[in-house]
Amino acid sequence: GRRRSWLVLSQSLVILGLIGMGFCDPHLFRQFC
C-alpha cells in the first residue's frame, strides 16, 4: 500500500543520512558533519 512505500522511503532517507555521516564528505554532507 501507499503507507508501506512512504515507510520504505523514510527509512531510505535515514539510511542515506547515516551513510553521509559515515563518509562525512564536507562538500556533499556539510549539514551532517
pLDDT at 18: 80
Q: How many domains does the structure of the chain reveal?
A: 1
Q: What SS3 state is found at 33?
A: coil
What DSSP string describes 10-21? HHHHHHHHHHHH
d(Cα 18, Cα 21) in Å, to the nearest integer? 5
Which set of grid coordinates corresponds to residue 27?
A: 562538500
* Domain interval for residue 9: 1-33
pLDDT, tens only, 1-31: 788 999 999 999 998 888 777 666 666 556 6
pTM score: 0.50
pLDDT at 16: 87
